[in-house]
Structures are given as structure tokens and as C-alpha cells.
Amino acid sequence: MSQPSVLIIDDEPLMRLSMMDALKAVGCEVQDASNGTEGIERLRANRYDLVITDLRMPGSDGLQVVQSCKEGAPDTEVIVITAHGSVETAVQAMKLGAYDYITKPFSMDELLLTVDRATKIVDLRKENTALRQELEGKFSFEGLVGKHERMRQVIEKIKLVSSTDATILITGESGTGKEVVANAIHRNSPRREYALIKVSCAALPETLLEAELFGHEKGSFTGAVKQRRGRFELAHKGTLFLDEIGEISPMVQVKLLRVLQERQFERVGGTETIESDVRLVCATQKDLKKEVEEGRFREDLYYRLHVVQVRLPSLRERKEDILVLAEHLLKKCLSRTNCEIQGFTAQSNEVLLRYSFPGNVRELENTIERAVALAQNRKDIEVWDLCGHQSCPFSGGTVQEGCGFCQEGLSDGQVKAALPLRISTGETLAKAREEFEREYILGVLNRTDWSRTIASKALGLSRKALWEKCKRYGITSADEPDESDTSA
Ligand SMILES: Nc1ncnc2c1ncn2[C@@H]1O[C@H](COP(=O)(O)OP(=O)(O)OP(=O)(O)O)[C@@H](O)[C@H]1O
Ligand SMILES: [Mg+2]
């Protein structure tokens, strides 16, 4: 640490002075207070790395100092000085959060040693905080979190193109963050003071979408009882986000092309030409190039939209982002709720990493929201909170049908590791072995969709031997094709 700041609180002037001298000599920045009350006031006004306080003082005593310090500045470490024979009070101080205590009489070397250890802790904590902040800054941009190389490239691209007026096409599977990117582009553009207007092109039939985009004049169609401005007008000087652009009809494609080429349009049923200064950002899950090749999307419009393309990778293509995103989404979710949860268990992290997330980040977000609701009063989110059902292999149950976390989240080793949890102690070895065997066979059968051929191979048994074991352990299932059938 460059120059640790220390506050010394002691009512004995001589003691105070010698401690101050010793600490100054090793480069500390020192302030002092001659009693507890004054010390607490100083603590309220300033930030210190370290507080050294006597325990027995008139007015507020050392314990009150520790308490007040830990409440107001929990990162400040406190060393208490205790008289010989009053270790109990020192222990009490430690319980309140003091870092350490030294017993009078002590040498200055002893004091400096303890101070050195405490400042190292403070140092480490500062480093960690800085690192976390750096990571947060590095791996996130305008709500878009990701440390995978491809996400870093996406963020760099957004930073680069936001300041221009270039039309942007965002592509990616559902839930990959296309809308987050559109928001980030707008917020980073010179147009941020104006509106970001969003239209989902898939939500409306052709004629309604046309009126929605370009507005309409009174009486232009049944129900058009008054003139209405369209989204292109509302987004003037701002950004227009056209979501699911791959869904627009050939007629709307033509009209859109014209706005992009001439920067002007007419309302539906109108003759007045309206100038439009709009930056267009579009998104689609579709492969627009393929749509062009198959004649469903105009090639000229495609090239107009495709000026800059931001391609978002699926979550399974950037597994290293899963845990960073999980932490981010958990924090986001916790900020709206009031519960004890602090993080995920190591097993939960493993399962998250193994799962394929077909619904991408949205699915991860929903999973976390559900898990938070289930884990409420616990410190960590368990695998079964992620699954959403109590009985999963991690809680001693079996793989639940249709549960991706159960099916993909387990390695064979974990199936083995999870199963003995159900075996109660106090059994004979033979009984425990039987119990284990039954559970294990059941687990493998579930994981192989009750294919006897695959299951017997995985278990290293003949099909006949498996059949016999199933019979012995009473393993049956509605999924079994036939009781007597021992093949797949
Ligand atoms: N990189 C990311 N960082 C943080 N949150 C993200 C990220 N990507 C997606 N999300 C979150 O996931 C959810 C889904 O994202 P978004 O709505 O942008 O997906 P989308 O690609 O538009 O999906 P769809 O095609 O289904 O409309 C949102 O709640 C969003 O906040
Ligand atoms: Mg979307």
C-alpha cells in the first residue's frame, strides 16, 4: 500500500504519541483522537484504512468504536489494544468485526507487525475491488455483457459504428441480445437525446404495419378516423428499430427501400411528402441472404440494410460468457428482490456451463429468475433451483423428463456422485450396495430413454443381466415398450 491511513484512538497521550511516531516512521499517514467519542466522529468524517483503538476509555469505549466503524466503513480494519487480563473484551471486539488485538504492554515492533498484516488485507481487498470494477467495465458495455472474443468484437463494432448514421442489421438466434444491441447503439449515438422507436414487424399484418411505419391520413382506410403520424415521423432525428425485419411483406419492402434511398415518404392515403432523418437499426433471426436467394426478400433492400452487420453468437458458441452473464443477471434480479442469495454453488455453475441454452440469454435470465424465487432464504442457488423441481439427480432424485438441466447438466461421474446421497447410513453393506445398484440402474435407464441396449452397454451388463436386475429391484416404467422385451 502506498501510504496507509491510520486513526489512533487512545486516552493516554504518551501511548498515543509513541504509536503515532512509530507508524509515521514506516510511512503511514496518521491522525489521532483522545477518546472514543472523538474517534467515532473522525470515523464519520473521514475514510481510514486502519483504526487502532484502546478498549477501555472514558465515554465511548473501544467496543463502541469497533461497532460504529464496522457499520459505517466495513472495509476499514480495526486493531484493538487491551489491558493484560481482559482478553474477553478483546474477543468481544473480534466478534464485532475487529481484525486483531494486542495486549498491553507491547513493543512497537509487535504493533507494526500487526499493522503490516492488517494493511495487507486492506490492500488485497482494494485490489480485488479494482479488478472487479475493471472486469465489469471491460466485459460489459451499455448492459451488454460478454467476455468471449466474439462478444468483445461485437462491443468494439458497436462503439465504432454508433457515432455514424450507418444502417445496421443485427442478426442472431432468439434471446441472443439483439434488442440490447439496438439500445446500446442508440444510447451511444449522437441521436441519444432523441427517441428510439421500436416496431416489431412480425406483430402486424401488412396494411397495419404500413400505417404504423408511415402514418395515415384521416379516412385513408376503414377505422382511420383521424390523421396519425407513423413511426418514421416519431423517430425523426432519433433511431428507428425495426425488429424481425425478415417478416415484412414485398409491398412494405418497396416502401422501406424508398425511404432508405430518398429519405422521404408519404403517409398512407396522403400526398404530402415528408422528409425523414432517421437512423435505421434492424434485427432478424432469419438468414436474410437465404431469404433473398429464395425470392422472399428484395436484394436491393437487403444491401441497403446490410451496410453494417452485427452478428450475435448463440450462448452455446460462447460458453465462457455463461457464468459472467449468470452473475450479471443474478445481480439484476436481486436488485429487484429482497433475499439472502449471494451466488451459485459450484455444482450449479458446472450445470450451467454444460447446458446448451437453446433459448440463449433470455432462457438463462428466466432460469435465474425462477431459481431466485425458489432459493429465497438460502445463500446459494442449487442445481434444483435451476431445474425448477426438487427431485433431480443432484438432490438424490432421478432425471426429470423434458428437463434439459437434468439431461445435459450431468456428467456420468456426477450421476455416480449424486446417487449415494440417497443411501441412508446404518445399513449393512450388502443392503447399501443393493440400494445403490437400484438407483444407479434407474439413473442410467432414464438417461438413455429406457433403451435397454444402450443402458446395458453403459452398465457393462448383458441385456439379460440388466433385465434380471430390473426385475429384482422392481424397476418398471410406463416408458417401457414391453415388460418382456429386453431389447431397445
Ligand atoms: N449480452 C447480454 N448481456 C446482458 N443481458 C443480455 C445479453 N443478451 C441478452 N440479454 C438479456 O436477455 C434477454 C433477451 O435479450 P433480447 O430481447 O435483446 O434478445 P433478442 O435477440 O432480441 O431475442 P428475440 O429474437 O427473441 O427478440 C433480455 O432480457 C436481455 O436483457
Ligand atoms: Mg428481440
Q: What is the residue extent of each domain of the chain?
A: 5-134, 144-313, 317-420, 423-472
Residue with the smallest CA separation from ligand 1 atom 13 is 362
- Which ligand has the nearest atom to the CA of 179? 1
- Which ligand has the nearest atom to the CA of 242? 2
Q: In whole angstroms, what is the distance from residue 327 CA to residue 145 CA? A: 10
Residue with the smallest CA separation from ligand 1 atom 27 is 174
| CATH fold match for the domains 5-134 and 144-313 | yes
Smallest CA-to-CA distance from 147 within 348, 326, 403 is with 326
Query: Separation of 113 CA from ligand 2 center, angstroms?
Result: 58
Contacts of 431 (CB under 8 A, 6+ apart): none
For the CA of 243, the closest atom of ligand 1 is: 27
- Which ligand has the nearest atom to the CA of 360? 1
CB 312 within 8 A of CB 178: yes
The pLDDT score that the predictor gives to residue 125 is: 80
The pLDDT tens digits of the residues spanning 170-195 come to: 999 999 999 999 999 999 999 999 99
Query: Separation of 161 CA from ligand 1 center, angstroms?
Result: 20
Count the residues in the chain: 488
Residue 465 CB: number of other CB atoms within 10 A? Answer: 13
Average pLDDT along the chain, 488 residues, taken 10 residues at a time = 88 94 95 95 92 92 94 91 83 90 92 92 78 68 91 94 96 97 96 95 92 92 88 96 96 95 93 94 96 96 95 95 92 87 86 92 96 89 86 72 78 48 61 80 76 80 90 72 41
Best residue among 153, 327, 335, 361 to mutate for probing ligand 1's pocket (most ligand atoms within 8 Å of CB) is: 361
Superfamily of domain 423-472: Homeodomain-like (1.10.10.60)
* Cell reading at 461: 451388463
The pLDDT score that the predictor gives to residue 54 is: 95
Q: In whole angstroms, what is the distance from residue 363 CA to residue 347 CA? A: 19
Grid cell 442489421 is found at: 169
- Which ligand has the nearest atom to the CA of 178? 1
Smallest CA-to-CA distance from 220 within 267, 264, 178 is with 267
Query: Separation of 283 CA from ligand 1 center, angstroms?
Result: 12
For the CA of 146, the closest atom of ligand 1 is: 1
The pLDDT score that the predictor gives to residue 478 is: 52
Q: In whole angstroms, what is the distance from residue 160 CA to residue 137 CA? A: 17
Smallest CA-to-CA distance from 263 within 249, 247, 280 is with 280
Q: In whole angstroms, what is the distance from residue 288 CA to residue 303 CA? A: 10
The pLDDT score that the predictor gives to residue 381 is: 92
The pLDDT tens digits of the residues spanning 21-80 come to: 999 999 999 999 999 999 999 999 889 999 999 999 988 899 999 999 999 888 899 999
Query: Separation of 176 CA from ligand 1 center, angstroms?
Result: 5
Q: In whole angstroms, what is the distance from residue 31 CA to residue 350 CA? A: 49
The pLDDT score that the predictor gives to residue 193 is: 92
The pLDDT score that the predictor gives to residue 420 is: 41
Query: Separation of 291 CA from ligand 1 center, angstroms?
Result: 24
CB 383 within 8 A of CB 347: yes
Q: Which CATH number fits domain 5-134: 3.30.420.10, 3.40.190.10, 3.40.50.2300, 1.20.120.530?
A: 3.40.50.2300
Residue with the smallest CA separation from ligand 1 atom 10 is 177
The 3-class secondary structure across the chain, one letter per residue, is CCCCEEEEECCCHHHHHHHHHHHHHCCCEEEEECCHHHHHHHHHHCCCCEEEEECCCCCCCHHHHHHHHHHHCCCCEEEEEECCCCHHHHHHHHHCCCCEEEECCCCHHHHHHHHHHHHHHHHHHHHHHHHHHHHHHHHEECCEECCCHHHHHHHHHHHHHHCCCCCEEEECCCCCCHHHHHHHHHHCCCCCCCCEEEEECCCCCHHHHHHHHHEECCCCCCCCCCCEECHHHHCCCCEEEEECHHHCCHHHHHHHHHHHHHCEEECECCCCEEECCCEEEEEECCCHHHHHHCCCCCHHHHHHHCCEEEECCCHHHCHHHHHHHHHHHHHHHHCCCCCCCCEECHHHHHHHHHCCCCCHHHHHHHHHHHHHHHHCCCCEECHHHHHCCCCCHHHCCCCCCCCHHHHHHCCHHHHHHHHHHHCCCCCCHHHHHHHHHHHHHHHHHHHCCCCHHHHHHHHCCCHHHHHHHHHHCCCCCCCCCCCCCCCC
Residue with the smallest CA separation from ligand 1 atom 7 is 177
Residue with the smallest CA separation from ligand 1 atom 26 is 174
The crossing angle, in degrees rounded to 10, of helices 206-214 and 250-262 is 20
Residues near ligand 1 (Cβ within 6 A): 143-146, 172, 174-180, 285, 325, 328, 361-362, 365
Domain 317-420 indexed as CATH 1.10.8.60: yes
- Which ligand has the nearest atom to the CA of 173? 1
Query: Separation of 351 CA from ligand 1 center, angstroms?
Result: 21
The pLDDT score that the predictor gives to residue 132 is: 66
The pLDDT score that the predictor gives to residue 29 is: 95
Query: Separation of 177 CA from ligand 1 center, angstroms?
Result: 3
CATH of domain 144-313: 3.40.50.300
Residue with the smallest CA separation from ligand 1 atom 29 is 362
Q: Which CA distances in Å does 243 have to 144, 168, 182, 246, 283?
A: 18, 12, 10, 9, 5
For the CA of 181, the closest atom of ligand 1 is: 18
- Which ligand has the nearest atom to the CA of 183? 1
Smallest CA-to-CA distance from 5 within 87, 63, 77 is with 77
Best residue among 180, 310, 364 to mutate for probing ligand 1's pocket (most ligand atoms within 8 Å of CB) is: 180
The pLDDT score that the predictor gives to residue 426 is: 62
For the CA of 172, the closest atom of ligand 1 is: 21
The pLDDT score that the predictor gives to residue 91 is: 86
Best residue among 136, 171, 176, 366 to mutate for probing ligand 1's pocket (most ligand atoms within 8 Å of CB) is: 176
pTM, full prediction: 0.64
Contacts of 290 (CB under 8 A, 6+ apart): none
The pLDDT score that the predictor gives to residue 330 is: 93
